[in-house]
Structure 1
Amino acid sequence: MADSAGSSETSYLLPPNREDWEEQGIPDFVYGQKELTREGIQWPRTAPSLPDTRPLSHFDSALCSAWRQRMELGLFRYRLGELQTRTLPGPMGFVAQLNVERGVQRRRPQNIRSVRQAFDPEEFNFNKIRPGEVLFRLRREPDPPGVLQQEDILVMINVSPLEWGHVLLVPEPARGLPQRLLPGALRAGLEAVLLSSHPGFRVGFNSLGGLASVNHLHLHGYYLPHRLPVEGAPSEPLDPGGRLHLLQAVPAPGFLFYTGGPGPDIEALVSRVCRATDYLTAREIAHNLFVTRGAPPGQTSFSSTLTGVRVILWPRKSSFGVKEREAFNVALCELAGHLPVKTPQDFSSLTEAAALALIRDCLLPPAQAEEVRAALVALTAQEEQ
């Protein structure tokens, strides 16, 4: 059922009868280089909501229409309405949202004991989901010689959504890959952000020990119609070539990688980031990663125009299981400044100081953080050799 990204013939909606779902097969969303080149992505004067009346890309339209249909069909664990949202007073600009249902009804995390834990086919994995949970297969058109071909990525609903359009990007689930970041998966996440014309579409990855709840390779993607501090925060260069920066003035200092857009620069960035996550995984250091449109490194601009894509990597203490008594659990979105809060009491009383305390309690101790910093700088320097 392959079709070009610009065609209106492909349907990403399920037929009305459930018995026809499996027979339909998975539709292909096929895209090429031209769909990745989008200039002038910017925040409007008022935050864009979803469903959105502004012109969306073909990717956004396909994802949002199929996602909305699955919500109407009752394939989620709860019906997501408009979430109560407030920006916490203070310089960080935390975006707190009340999401009681996710805190109560999400699937219990698997028993994870190691960042390098092997895939277990007996545990829940994405080969066991209902057919209707898959929206489409993300497929890249054949690239010119010398450029790696993108593997197929299934885009499926997260049945316990954080926000509107919350999906999972799962590379070839039948391969049974453990939750360890691979270049093809990261490249797909970067390109999904570039395919979207919505400034608030973000992608992220939680390692095992970094609050990944399923040990089967996947990334998260979701729409949040609010700016986050990591988009335009300043950074300090860590190597002379400007390929690795330390993000500052954010909830948690992180390693910043940047690309101005599609092309060879993305291949270099993917390789650089995956070398860093391989280093962390080999040493049993949990980590979270966040992909968002944002300003180039070194700039402190919070202007409305988002000129490129920022990738932020946070090494952190391992945390196995969910800490039920805390206002929120610290994973990819919380480190970026988006706080899904579990109870009305915590939502109304949460302060910036309390949020910062929870987040910073999950970071590596200073000596280990400095060791990781030196190692990633050394890995970056090896690119020149």
Structure 2
Amino acid sequence: MAISQGSNETSYLLPPNKEDWEGRGIPDFVYGQQELLWEGVQWPEYAPSRPDALPGPGSRFDSALCSAWRQRMDLGLFRYCLGELQTQTLPGAVGFVAQLNVERGVQRRAPQSIGSMRQAFDPKQFNFTKIRPGEVLFRLRRKPDLPGALRQEDILVMINVSPLEWGHVLLVPEPALGLPQRLLPGALRAGLEAVLLSSHPGFRVGFNSLGGLASVNHLHLHGYYLAHRLPVERAPSERLDPGGHLHLLQAVPAPGFLFYTGGPEPDLEALISRVCRATDYLTDHEIAHNLFVTRGAPPGKTSPSSALTGVRVILWARKSSFKRKESEAFNVALCELAGHLSVKTSQDFGSLTEAASLALIQDCLLPPAQAEEVQAALVALASQKEP
């Protein structure tokens, strides 16, 4: 399947013969400002289980990602074949979306040995320069005239071979640079703009820090489709700083720091700067964190309608954990904090309750005194004038 790019046609699919993959160059997905969808994206009356089954045409980005991702699944490049996942919304006030994904729990790559938030990149460990060529879908590139002072690295969009959900990809900035898993402005911009390039309301992007269940110490973000609304899209919030740049998200699985933008430059660049100042503080102080990017309502509003009017970035500070707890029903990382639970066993899926889920999540959060200290520091950073 070829995806149209203006007057040219670029194929994001592999040739049928595996021996031809090595010689195939990585296609470029080049986008401009007009493709960033700030308005008009909303949930349909019903949400189909597959992103390629949404009513109406998807965006050019969705078409490129979904067609190439589906082909890699058909070619057997994943560790398992992801079918339609059994899904339920847990009864209760939060509205957890739980999915049974047994094979991810069993077959995903073992996490690397990591002992510090500031651990250096180790080229001897697994990293994204060692993947098979067919795992790369395309290179994400901004047009040179797209506004924004930040330099944008080339971002490789590649499959996650142990997918969490349909369309699960990794966004990896210039893998050959060997960047450790510490959020950088260019990487965050790519994640935000990927969300804005999608016309699917359930395409989300996230980041796990070292100690926040990142399993590979090589800079990457996650992107995936989930055809369900999540609590963080519309949860109310409390303003924390006089300028209204930082809010505390309430009535969700875990209190998180909310950053929001409803429009393009300069607001987008200011948001990126504020978020990265916050994640730099957390990393420098050895505080693990998870980050989630989703379309949603402005701060303080609950958006009862299906309309999604801007982009929410939620940041959670948490206890450091350098080892997954395989005995738990689910591991707590970016999607679980947002209300999407990837459950490992049929037994846990059948018996899981909202109370048990909240207890697992609460156990990963900072103790109250440290949480207050972090909040005060991030409020002070948010109140700083932009350079």
* TM category, shorter: over 0.9
Which secondary structure does the structure 2 equivalent of 1:299 belong to?
A: coil
1:359 match: 361
TM-score when scaled to structure 1?
0.97
Which secondary structure does the structure 2 equivalent of 1:22 belong to?
A: coil
Amino acid at match of 2:11: S
2:130 match: 128
Match runs of 1:1-385 below 5 Å: 5-6=5-6, 9-50=9-50, 51-54=52-55, 55-143=57-145, 147-383=149-385
C-alpha contact 2:37 2:199 (8 A) present in aligned 1: no
d(CA) in 2 for partners of 1:84, 1:271:
39
Amino acid at match of 1:52: A
Which secondary structure does the structure 1 equivalent of 2:11 belong to?
A: coil
d(CA) in 1 for partners of 2:63, 2:385:
39
Which secondary structure does the structure 1 equivalent of 2:252 belong to?
A: coil
Amino acid at match of 1:270: I
d(CA) in 2 for partners of 1:178, 1:171:
11
- Residue 322 of structure 1 and its aligned partner are, at CA, apart by 1.1
After TM superposition, what 4+ stretches of structure 1 lie above 3 angstroms from structure 2?
Answer: 3-8
- Residue 381 of structure 1 and its aligned partner are, at CA, apart by 1.3
Amino acid at match of 1:24: R
d(CA) in 1 for partners of 2:252, 2:114:
29
Amino acid at match of 1:242: G
Q: Which has the higher mean CA deviation after the structures are superposed, 278-287 or 147-156?
A: 147-156
C-alpha contact 1:96 1:338 (8 A) present in aligned 2: yes
Which secondary structure does the structure 2 equivalent of 1:303 belong to?
A: coil
Structure 1 pair 58/77, CA: closer, same or farther in 2 (3 Å)? same
C-alpha contact 1:143 1:149 (8 A) present in aligned 2: no
d(CA) in 1 for partners of 2:348, 2:259:
33
1:313-366: per-residue Cα shift (whole Å, max 9, x none)?
000000111101000000000000000000000000000000000000000000
TM-score when scaled to structure 2?
0.97
Structure 1 gaps of 5+ residues are: none
- Residue 145 of structure 1 and its aligned partner are, at CA, apart by 7.3
d(CA) in 1 for partners of 2:40, 2:217:
37
1:194-231: per-residue Cα shift (whole Å, max 9, x none)?
00000000000000000000000000000000000000
Which secondary structure does the structure 1 equivalent of 2:192 belong to?
A: helix
d(CA) in 2 for partners of 1:278, 1:221:
22
d(CA) in 2 for partners of 1:8, 1:361:
52
Amino acid at match of 1:250: V
RMSD of aligned alpha carbons: 1.4
Structure 2 gaps of 5+ residues are: none
C-alpha contact 2:157 2:170 (8 A) present in aligned 1: yes
Structure 1 pair 31/224, CA: closer, same or farther in 2 (3 Å)? same
C-alpha contact 2:169 2:223 (8 A) present in aligned 1: yes
